[in-house]
Amino acid sequence: MCGRYFIDEETVKKAEELVKMIDISLAGKREIYPSSQAPVILRYGQEMAGELCSWGFDRFDGKGLIINARAETVLEKRMFKKYAQGSRCVIPAAGFYEWSRDKVKHAFYQRQQPDMYMAGILRESKKGQQFVILTTEANESVKEIHSRMPLVLKKDQVEQWVLSDDAVEFLLHQRPGQLEQRRARSGKLRIRAKFQDMIGGVSYENNLYLSYNR
């Protein structure tokens, strides 16, 4: 799954090589949590545009957010299918975090490239535009920490994902490249609300819970 990621000024500068991003003051590195507003690359007519959108689809029962969807089944699930077919987005990041089974926080990033692009889907809600990050089976560089990881696109695939319906099937099934990792400063996974990535399983922490599957 992907329950938190980070961006910085360099991320935004690199993303602006693709599209003019909405003005955002990051004040150095910034961690993005579910429900946060974050810069997203989306479709506007026949072109790409940058906007601030909220991370997570509201659940139908109003209890929490859905923050991830499986790339392998996103075209099959009724909740996600139409957005995967016609409302795709890309989430720029400097990297993302995952927690090991003993709740140690690890940062994953690309050593030779300060910008990372995660595939997502987007929908309009009463609260504004909301996005979900797609996840796929973890590659060799991530699987010792977690079985899932974001569907990371190459920079030259961003426009294809956002604008080209013909490229969707191929990109959904590609395997992300190898990543570097380091142990992050904060080692504890703290959960303030209920989130779900549509995979299943429950982990408890401080009497609140996060739905996911190891």
Q: What pLDDT was estimated at residue 9? A: 84
pTM reported for the whole predicted model: 0.84
Per-residue pLDDT of the chain (214 residues; tens, 9 = 90+): 789 999 988 888 888 888 876 655 544 568 999 999 999 999 999 999 999 999 999 998 888 999 999 999 999 999 999 999 999 999 999 999 999 888 899 999 998 888 999 999 999 998 899 999 999 999 999 999 999 999 999 999 999 999 999 999 999 999 999 999 999 875 444 434 344 444 333 332 322 233 333 2
- The strand order across the sheet containing 208-211 reads 57-58, 65-66, 195-196, 208-211, 202-205
Tell me 206's DSSP state: T
Report strand pairing: 95-99 vs 105-109.
antiparallel
- The answer as to CATH 3.90.1680.10 being correct for domain 5-211 is yes
* N-to-C CA span, the chain: 9
The CA distance from 85 to 87, in Å, is 6
Give domain limits for the chain.
5-211
Q: What pLDDT was estimated at residue 210? A: 34
